[in-house]
Amino acid sequence: MLTLRSILRPTRIVDAHCDIPCGVYDPEQARIEAESCLRIIEKHDASDDKLFRARCIHVKEERAELVKHHLDVLWHDYFKPEHLEKYPDLHDTFWKATKQASKVKQSLDAGAAKELLSMIDTIDEMWKATGGPDKTRVNGRPS
Q: Which residues of 123-139 are buried (b: 16+ CB within 10 A; e: fewer)?
A: bbebbeebebbeebeee
Burial label, 112 (beta-carbon count in 10 A; 0-12, 13-18, 19+): buried
User: Is the pTM here over 0.75, yes or no?
Assistant: yes
Fold of domain 25-130: Four Helix Bundle (Hemerythrin (Met), subunit A) (1.20.120)
- Which tens digits make up the pLDDT trace of 123-143? 999 999 999 999 988 887 877
Q: What is the 3-state secondary structure (H, E, C) of 68-135?
A: HHHHHHHHHHHCCHHHHHHCCCHHHHHHHHHHHHHHHHHCCCHHHHHHHHHHHHHHHHHHHHCCHHHH
- Which tens digits make up the pLDDT trace of 59-83? 999 999 999 999 999 999 999 999 9
- Which tens digits make up the pLDDT trace of 12-70? 554 444 566 788 899 999 999 999 999 999 999 999 999 999 999 999 999 999 999 99
